[in-house]
């Protein structure tokens, strides 16, 4: 059996040495990199061959890759590297790696063309100045072959280990049994659909109710599909920590049923949660865990892979034992683990590590997206950027003198943006090139300054720099999928503005991510209507959809409409009293634990106040703004099986989804809102754009996102097949046909109930 490896992956494994060095050398964006390569190759003479595919074998190792360019006339093979800033700032160990890569290509080319020697050129192209720095070395084919053989030999032991692991893994997965005695109702239907999607290489949207065991019901079929579909990796992506915990728990159950299963699983966590030295920078001169990182990585990697089940605590313990950074060790281990559990952003964000590795290594990856209804909002945030002029001014006051000119120029261009703007908020069809240019110049100046002053640290400058880089990257891809808006405000008697590139349609960014995976399953209890999610996320045309039958019966849940109450903004004050009486009546009918959801903290508080005044004997407690974890736990702790009272919360907040209060812990919910996003200039812009794109502006901007939240919140009531409960939908609009059709099919709504 052959082991196939890319030149880049092989050399990164064998030739990376020394420190981890992620100081302020901003990598060019993907577009800048592609444009830089194109500029260099366009400068070459006729006959120049770009993107030369090369492959060669060493024992049972197949090494392949694509060299950037070859000029037969001068017999020169080139590897192009784009960068920003000063050439001297490129760390030595990066250059060492680039040479190692190029020499590998050198031998593959000599072998392919029968050359006895070749000239190798490392072409460093600076994005800002468009200048090339070319390093050239002449090599005999024999020397290159020796280098190639040495690198391959060093990798071979690892490749053998990986091959053996893969064979053992696939054999064990083929024989793997479901860890429970039987599938739950609906769980088998879901598992079969996931397996079928993996077999046909399609995307799947699965709407499946809570309580059927979705996590294990999606992970298990993918594990079973691994051998036949030659899946390299499974990525389980969650929106919240609780989703990651469920996935790790499901994997632990699978292991319990098969204790010798040779499966490597990894939990990826955010940098700020994994960093051991938050006061330091990620390079060897600052952080001891970055110093000599690549020298100690091999032992740490080996120890981790022997362990196999790598949750956050295990990875940290290994990292500290070998004195390497836990965060970057996790990123390295993602290359070698079979199942990776992490946040959405590891696959969907700009520059996401799992997506990048999938492309580089041509992995056949299967992706699971947990609670996928969150992906629209999360993706919008990933592809949006904001610059705040008040923070910029604050930073400018203490900025080094060397940056004064470029920051002043940027400030002038910024002021010009809002000078003529009469209204507080305005969206524009394009980003003025003058501002974009000034921003780019400021970024270059800061880059140069930081390269020359590597120990300089100012948190304000650093924050602005990262924000500006993100903003300028999104300027490159700005299109109808995003808004550019300027919000004007007064600060100390002067106009200041907040600039935002606001993504509203993430589909163009996400579509290539769906395309890069062998199969992706998005699952959630609320994914309807299908077309809304398909359009917003950019799912492929042939995406399969399945609505898994609910294990719950209509008899378990009474759904009543309070159609005589309007919760519209203008009727809100009149709604307080009838809502209070409705809640009190229901409570007297069946005392127990209830949740009441409102559209805002203000609304929630007003109703809670009145409720306390009129019904002081009934306990109530309120969600407040910015509750920390402990406060959230205290809020939930009041929902005991023997408890009684009403918890007031906001729809779409921490208690409206992702919480589990089975049995008597929650017997009912009051939902006094349709959850419609606020009517404001931004949402109106979104409505207009959605209307232009899909002909259903109101539905896409307001109705669908709102009802999704209502159904999620109502879903807190029935968690198991023995639960019984009641939901009140409080607003006359719930009786409208376009709203009714968005409610779950298994609900039997009492349309004539009037409370």
Q: Interface residues with ligand SF4 (CB under 6 A)?
A: 20, 271, 275-277, 280, 282, 287, 289-290, 325, 327-328
Strand partners, 267: 341
Q: Between 3 and 328, whose beta carbon lies closer to ligand SF4?
A: 328
Strand partners, 596: 648, 670
- Contact present, 211 and 187 (Cβ < 8 Å): no
3-state secondary structure of 374: helix
Q: CA torsion 101→102→106→107, rounded to 10°? A: -20
Nearest distance in Å: CB 419, ligand SF4: 42
The b/e string for 707-739 (b: 16+ C-beta within 10 A; e otherwise) is bbbbbbbbbbbbbeeebebbbbbbbebbeeeeb
Nearest distance in Å: CB 320, ligand SF4: 10
Query: Side-chain half-sphere of 269: how many Cα atoms within 13 Å?
Result: 20
Q: Between 316 and 709, whose beta carbon lies closer to ligand SF4?
A: 316
Residue with tokens 């110049």: 441
- Residue partners of 222: CB distance under 8 A and separation at least 6: 194, 195, 198, 231, 234, 366, 368, 519, 521
Distance CA 281, CA 294 (A): 17
Nearest distance in Å: CB 455, ligand SF4: 14
Q: Between 276 and 688, whose beta carbon lies closer to ligand SF4?
A: 276
Distance CA 749, CA 227 (A): 46
Peptide bond preceding 529: is omega within 30 degrees of 0, i.e. cis? yes
Q: Between 282 and 703, whose beta carbon lies closer to ligand SF4?
A: 282
- Contact present, 356 and 4 (Cβ < 8 Å): no
Q: Between 21 and 699, whose beta carbon lies closer to ligand SF4?
A: 21
Q: Between 277 and 419, whose beta carbon lies closer to ligand SF4?
A: 277
C-alpha dist (Å) from residue 101 to 66, 119, 502: 11, 14, 39
Can you read off the two tokens belonging to residue 169? 């893994």
Q: Between 292 and 681, whose beta carbon lies closer to ligand SF4?
A: 292
Can you read off the two tokens belonging to residue 250? 């499901």
Nearest distance in Å: CB 285, ligand SF4: 11
Nearest distance in Å: CB 236, ligand SF4: 23
Nearest distance in Å: CB 204, ligand SF4: 36
Q: Between 275 and 618, whose beta carbon lies closer to ligand SF4?
A: 275
Nearest distance in Å: CB 549, ligand SF4: 46
Nearest distance in Å: CB 444, ligand SF4: 25
Distance CA 376, CA 459 (A): 31
Q: Between 23 and 169, whose beta carbon lies closer to ligand SF4?
A: 23
Nearest distance in Å: CB 628, ligand SF4: 24
């Amino acid at each position: 059996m052959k082991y196939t490896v890319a030149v880049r992956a092989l050399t990164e494994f064998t030739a990376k040495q020394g420190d981890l060095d992620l100081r302020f050398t901003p990598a060019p964006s993907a577009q800048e990199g592609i444009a830089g390569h194109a500029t260099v190759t366009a400068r070459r003479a006729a006959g120049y061959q770009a993107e030369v595919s090369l492959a060669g074998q060493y024992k049972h190792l197949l090494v392949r890759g694509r060299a950037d360019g070859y000029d037969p006339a001068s017999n020169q093979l080139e590897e192009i590297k784009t960068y920003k800033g000063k050439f001297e700032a490129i760390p030595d160990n990066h250059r060492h790696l680039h040479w190692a890569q190029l020499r590998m290509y050198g031998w593959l080319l000599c072998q392919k063309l029968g050359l006895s020697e070749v000239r190798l050129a490392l072409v460093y192209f600076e994005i800002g100045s468009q200048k090339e720095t070319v390093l050239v070395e002449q090599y005999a084919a024999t020397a290159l072959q020796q280098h190639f053989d040495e690198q391959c030999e060093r990798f071979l032991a690892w490749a053998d280990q990986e091959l053996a692991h893969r064979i053992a893994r696939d054999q064990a997965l083929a024989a793997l049994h479901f860890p429970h005695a039987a599938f739950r109702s609906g769980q088998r239907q879901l598992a079969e659909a996931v397996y079928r999607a993996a077999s046909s290489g399609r995307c799947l949207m699965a709407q499946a109710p809570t309580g059927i065991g979705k996590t294990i019901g999606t992970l298990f079929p993918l594990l079973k599909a691994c051998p036949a579909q030659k899946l390299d990796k499974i990525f389980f992506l969650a929106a919240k920590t609780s989703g990651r915990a469920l996935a790790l728990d499901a994997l632990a159950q699978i292991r319990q049923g098969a204790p010798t299963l040779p499966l490597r699983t990894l939990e990826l966590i955010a940098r700020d949660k994994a960093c051991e030295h938050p006061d330091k920078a990620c390079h060897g001169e600052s952080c001891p865990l970055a110093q000599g990182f690549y020298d100690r990585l091999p032992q740490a990697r080996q120890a981790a892979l022997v362990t196999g089940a790598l949750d956050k605590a295990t990875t940290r313990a290994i990292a500290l034992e070998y004195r390497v950074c836990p965060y970057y060790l996790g990123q390295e281990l993602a290359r070698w683990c079979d199942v990776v559990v992490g946040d959405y952003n590891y696959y969907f964000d700009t520059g996401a590590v799992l997506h990048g590795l999938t492309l580089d290594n041509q992995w056949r990856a299967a992706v699971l997206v947990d609670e996928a209804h969150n992906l629209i909002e999360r993706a919008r945030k990933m592809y949006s950027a904001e610059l705040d002029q008040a923070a910029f001014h604050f930073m400018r006051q203490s900025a080094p003198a060397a940056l004064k000119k470029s920051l002043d120029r940027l400030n002038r261009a910024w002021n010009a943006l809002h000078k003529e703007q009469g209204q507080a908020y305005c969206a524009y069809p394009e980003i003025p090139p003058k501002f974009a240019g000034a921003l780019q110049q400021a970024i270059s100046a800061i880059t140069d300054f930081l390269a020359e002053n590597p120990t300089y640290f100012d948190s304000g400058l650093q924050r602005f720099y990262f924000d500006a880089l993100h903003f300028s990257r999104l300027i490159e891809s700005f299109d109808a999928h995003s808004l550019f808006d300027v919000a004007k405000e007064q600060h100390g008697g002067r106009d200041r503005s907040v600039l935002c590139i606001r993504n509203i349609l993430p589909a163009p960014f996400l579509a290539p991510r769906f395309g890069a995976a062998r199969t992706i399953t998005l699952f959630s209890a609320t994914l309807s209507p299908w077309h809304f999610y398909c359009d917003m996320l950019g799912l492929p045309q042939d995406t399969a959809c399945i609505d898994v039958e609910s294990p719950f019966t209509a008899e378990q849940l009474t759904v009543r409409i309070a159609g005589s109450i309007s919760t519209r903004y203008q009727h809100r004050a009149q709604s307080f009293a009838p809502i209070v009486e409705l809640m009190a009546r229901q409570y007297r009918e069946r005392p127990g634990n209830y949740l009441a959801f409102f559209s805002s903290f203000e609304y929630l508080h007003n109703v809670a106040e009145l409720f306390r005044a009129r019904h002081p004997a009934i306990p109530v407690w309120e969600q407040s703004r910015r509750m920390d974890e402990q406060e959230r736990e205290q809020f939930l702790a009041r929902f005991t099986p023997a408890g009684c009272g009403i918890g007031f919360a906001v729809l779409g907040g921490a208690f409206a989804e992702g919480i589990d209060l089975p049995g008597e812990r929650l017997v009912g919910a009051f939902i006094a809102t349709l959850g419609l996003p606020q009517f404001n200039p931004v949402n109106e812009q979104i409505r207009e754009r959605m209307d232009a794109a899909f002909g259903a502006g109101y539905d896409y901007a307001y109705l669908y996102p709102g009802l999704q939240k209502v159904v999620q919140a109502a879903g807190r009531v029935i968690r198991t097949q023995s639960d019984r409960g009641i939901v009140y939908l409080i607003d006359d609009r719930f009786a409208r046909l376009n709203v009714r059709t968005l409610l779950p099919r298994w609900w039997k709504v009492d349309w004539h109930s009037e409370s």
